[in-house]
Structure 1
Amino acid sequence: MTQTSCTNDWFGRGSSDSSSKNAATAENAAAGKVKTSTGKSDDDNSGSAANAGSASTDSDKESVSASATSQSSALLAFLRENSPSKTIKKKNGVDYVTNTDSPLILVNKKRELASTYVPHDLVKAKVAFSFSGDSPKQQMRKVAAEALEKLFAGAEKDGIELKAVSGYRSYVSQHAVFNNYVKKNGEQEANTFSAHPGQSEHQTGLAMDVSSASAGYDLTTDFGDTKEGKWLKEHAADYGFIIRYELGKEEETGYMYEPWHIRYVGVFIAQDIKKRGDTLEAYLAQF
């Protein structure tokens, strides 16, 4: 894997302290603020830099190199820990995911969540919704909710008005949603756009459906052609989200194109997935 740039968001808030420290060290190194042997940053030592000469420069370069190697190794280790082959446990013929606290949890038609699973850190996302009143659909895991709030603020700054439609959905709620679609569209068609209970990303608390007035606040492929949908596709990764079900990737994801469905994975990984043009399945399978 080629390392480019990184922020603390590669791991999400639920990562280990050591991983977060490695990410922070990498950021400081990139900013030229690595610690010298005196315990001060480069900025603090500016007055004595002339006396230090090339020795100081060499020391700084070594520090930057060491920290970059450290953060790259930590990221690679994290990705390997979340490899699909290492995060599954079979029970009664069903493959259940085991890394439920990770921002890289992979849930799909072949990898399920237990019916009893509820994210431990659900909070209400402080963004505009397409409906009034309170609902569990306004919830996401804390790290994802905070990222969504930043995304909506960024959109507003660019003159884009988005509204959230549906976030967290329990196993029981997903069961009702899927059954309703089966009654309306038939099971074969429902399977192309709706998940069986236990197979929905909404149960992870890391996904949100988003729409706009120009799409009638509906969850429709037409949203992808609106200025709001185009903005979301272009900028979602800057806030740690991916368009989870991309056009032309139906065989890999198991679902039709859904330009409204965004999934939090962390900034660095979202940007890397976007750059590569991968699905989450293909990206994680590399490790």
Structure 2
Amino acid sequence: MPGQHVKTHIAMIVCVCLCLLAYLSWFSPEPDLSTSAPVSDSDSATRAAASEGAASGTAPTPAFVPTPDPESKAGAPAPDYDSAQSLTVVVNKHRPLTDRAYVPADLADAAGVPLRAEAASAYLQMSVDAAAAGVGLTAVSGFRAADAQGLLHDSYTTNYGVSTAEAISARAGFSEHQTGLAVDIGNNDGACSLQSCFAATPAGAWAAANAHRYGFIIRYPDGAEHITGFTYEPWHLRYVGPDVAQKLFDAGITLEEYAGLPAAPGY
């Protein structure tokens, strides 16, 4: 092949190659950004906040706000029905005091009988208000140690028999009186003292209508013997605090029912 033709042929090949490269460069597709890792709404917000912060020179505001922990919400603690020191402790024929020798550390005088300090203060105020209404209240008995309770129960058993004694008196270690939160009340003249007829006396009627305002409940109400294990005692008041007392009074239920505990008709 003549030299001139060879040069011409090479020039044509080079020209075709250059044209092909230019064509490929012109029509090559740009990267598809939509196929990159997905971006969540919170990521987008965070990036946007970061961009704004960078522009303004201030720290970006986080896009994520943590949900508050339910356990951290403020609220009253659940009532304690087990500890002897608790104002809402439930003592009955199924639930004796853990410490049979328990004696409250804060006993105070409540018009002649010992009670826990808070209960004593509430009782004294109740007595003052009852007197202002023309009703005289007398504190018959308050705190009673386990040994004294045992002697009382034994005397009832001897005098009235086992069945009656179990219905009107708790065994040692099973008595609310040992908590220092129970007080037996009466009329100043002693009418119907420690008898069911007390309910119809001035002191009995006033206490039934007002004791809850001071934190006391009638612990063994009429018709609840199958729950409390004791006969109706309109004179036996138990301090649980004004809030709980109001709830029991409004609902007309026993402490066992309020606490969701089983009935305790017997040991």
Aligned to 1:219, the other structure's residue is in SS state coil
Counterpart of 1:233?
A: 208
Counterpart of 1:58?
A: none
Equivalents in 1 of 2:140, 2:149: separation in Å?
A: 15
Residue identity opposite 2:105 in structure 1:
H
What's the TM-score once normalised by structure 1's chain length? 0.63
Question: Are the counterparts in 1 of residues 191 and 201 from structure 2 also a CA contact under 8 Å?
Answer: no
Counterpart of 1:119?
A: 104
Task: Give the structure with higher Rg (CA).
Answer: 2
Task: State the Cα RMSD in Å.
Answer: 1.5
Using the TM superposition, give the Cα deviation of residue 116 of structure 1 relative to its aligned residue in structure 2, in angstroms: 1.4
Equivalents in 2 of 1:180, 1:231: separation in Å?
A: 31
User: Structure 1 stretches of 5 or more lacking a match?
Assistant: 1-68, 88-98, 130-137
Equivalents in 1 of 2:78, 2:145: separation in Å?
A: 27
Count residues with an aligned counterpart.
Answer: 188
What's the TM-score once normalised by structure 2's chain length? 0.68
Using the TM superposition, give the Cα deviation of residue 213 of structure 1 relative to its aligned residue in structure 2, in angstroms: 3.9
Question: Are the counterparts in 1 of residues 217 and 240 from structure 2 also a CA contact under 8 Å?
Answer: yes
Counterpart of 1:106?
A: 90
Question: Are the counterparts in 2 of residues 107 and 201 from structure 1 also a CA contact under 8 Å?
Answer: yes
Equivalents in 2 of 1:216, 1:177: separation in Å?
A: 22
Counterpart of 2:145?
A: 170
Using the TM superposition, give the Cα deviation of residue 78 of structure 1 relative to its aligned residue in structure 2, in angstroms: 2.2
Question: Are the counterparts in 2 of residues 208 and 261 from structure 1 also a CA contact under 8 Å?
Answer: yes
Question: Are the counterparts in 1 of residues 103 and 145 from structure 2 also a CA contact under 8 Å?
Answer: yes
Using the TM superposition, give the Cα deviation of residue 101 of structure 1 relative to its aligned residue in structure 2, in angstroms: 1.1
User: Structure 2 stretches of 5 or more lacking a match?
Assistant: 1-72, 262-267
Equivalents in 2 of 1:214, 1:242: separation in Å?
A: 23
**4+ long deviations beyond 3 Å:** none
Counterpart of 1:149?
A: 124
Residue identity opposite 1:158 in structure 2:
A
Aligned to 1:144, the other structure's residue is in SS state helix
**Over residues 228-254 of structure 1, what are the superposed CA-to-partner deviations in whole Å (9 max), with x where a residue is unaligned?**
211000000000000000001111100
Q: 1:279 aligns with which of 245, 254, 266?
A: 254
Counterpart of 1:12?
A: none
Using the TM superposition, give the Cα deviation of residue 115 of structure 1 relative to its aligned residue in structure 2, in angstroms: 2.2
Using the TM superposition, give the Cα deviation of residue 214 of structure 1 relative to its aligned residue in structure 2, in angstroms: 5.2
Residue identity opposite 2:88 in structure 1:
L
Equivalents in 2 of 1:218, 1:263: separation in Å?
A: 17
Question: Are the counterparts in 2 of residues 178 and 194 from structure 1 also a CA contact under 8 Å?
Answer: yes
Question: Are the counterparts in 1 of residues 143 and 182 from structure 2 also a CA contact under 8 Å?
Answer: yes
Residue identity opposite 2:100 in structure 1:
S
Q: 1:184 aligns with which of 159, 174, 179?
A: 159
**Over residues 82-124 of structure 1, what are the superposed CA-to-partner deviations in whole Å (9 max), with x where a residue is unaligned?**
25xxx3xxxxxxxxxxx11110011000111222111111111
Highest relative contact order (Cα 8 Å, sep 6+), 1 or 2? 1
Using the TM superposition, give the Cα deviation of residue 215 of structure 1 relative to its aligned residue in structure 2, in angstroms: 4.6
- What is the percentage of aligned positions where both structures have the same residue? 39
Q: 1:260 aligns with which of 209, 223, 235?
A: 235
Question: Are the counterparts in 1 of residues 221 and 232 from structure 2 also a CA contact under 8 Å?
Answer: yes
Counterpart of 2:52?
A: none
Question: Are the counterparts in 2 of residues 214 and 226 from structure 1 also a CA contact under 8 Å?
Answer: no
